[in-house]
């Protein structure tokens, strides 16, 4: 009986307002301590630090890439300058080696054209003299005129080619221009060969006409 009374007293005390208050305060303190422990145990978020670090790394990589590209561009510019200098030096040596030869070639071909031109005019003069006596020299005149045209074309082509050559020597790529000059000189040579052949044919024809006129002339017997 006494045992049951003791238990009842204990229960009464536990559920009395004072005891309930103690229990409430104790529970609150326990929860506060638990929350504090949870807050202390919860780690701080590291996502923002990682993102910041990645951005810094990206900026650094971009900076290094920009510096590398700048250095590469600088190297390319220097290489172009160096190559241009080599080209200028090579062209200078080419001009020193080739220029006298081309000058001599132009002078020789022009001299040859002038000789053919003088020969054309000489044959023209003889044809005019023969024709003045009534002899038909029309074919001779045609050949002479054709020869004169070819000589004029040769001289004009030579003048143009010489100008082209002098301009090409100072360029960075004179090879193409010099090849064009050489091709043009072949045309000049052809003009002069044609002119020389036409003059030769004119001379032969004129001699043949003069000879035939002499043979055909009547012989006059002097009266005693």
- Give the pLDDT confidence of 30-79 residue by residue, as tens digits: 444 445 544 454 455 555 777 787 778 888 888 888 888 888 888 888 87
- Give the pLDDT confidence of 85-98 residue by residue, as tens digits: 776 677 667 666 76
Which pTM value belongs to this model?
0.57
Average pLDDT over residues 189-200: 95
Answer with the residue of higher pLDDT: 11 or 148: 148
Answer with the residue of higher pLDDT: 214 or 42: 214
Quick one: pLDDT at residue 159? 92
Quick one: pLDDT at residue 5? 45
Per-residue pLDDT for 218 more than 50?
Answer: no
Whole-angstrom CA distances from 220 to 213, 223, 224 are: 15, 9, 12
Quick one: pLDDT at residue 1? 53
Whole-angstrom CA distances from 51 to 57, 62, 64, 148 are: 10, 16, 20, 90
pLDDT classification of 223: cutoffs 50, 70, 90: very low
Quick one: pLDDT at residue 200? 95
Average pLDDT over residues 9-23: 49
Quick one: pLDDT at residue 43? 52
Quick one: pLDDT at residue 70? 83
């Amino acid at each position: 009986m006494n045992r049951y009374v003791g238990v009842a007293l204990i229960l009464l005390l536990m559920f009395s307002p004072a005891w309930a208050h103690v229990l409430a305060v104790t529970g609150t303190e326990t929860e506060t301590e638990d929350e504090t422990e949870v807050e202390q145990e919860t780690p701080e978020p590291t996502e923002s630090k990682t993102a910041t670090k990645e951005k810094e790394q990206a900026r650094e990589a971009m900076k290094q890439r920009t510096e590398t590209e700048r250095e590469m561009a600088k190297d390319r510019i220097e290489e172009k300058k160096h190559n241009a200098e080599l080209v200028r030096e090579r062209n200078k040596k080419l001009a020193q080696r080739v220029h006298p030869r081309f000058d001599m070639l132009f002078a020789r071909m022009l001299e040859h054209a002038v000789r053919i031109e003088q020969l054309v005019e000489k044959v023209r003069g003889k044809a005019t003299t023969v024709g003045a006596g009534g002899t038909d020299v029309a074919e001779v005149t045609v050949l002479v005129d054709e020869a004169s045209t070819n000589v004029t074309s040769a001289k004009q082509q030579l003048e143009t080619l010489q100008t082209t050559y002098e301009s090409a020597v100072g360029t960075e790529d004179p090879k193409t221009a010099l090849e064009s000059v050489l091709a043009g000189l072949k045309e000049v040579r052809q003009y002069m060969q044609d002119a020389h052949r036409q003059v030769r044919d004119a001379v032969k024809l004129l001699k043949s006409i003069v000879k035939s006129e002499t043979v055909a002339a009547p012989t006059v017997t002097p009266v005693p």
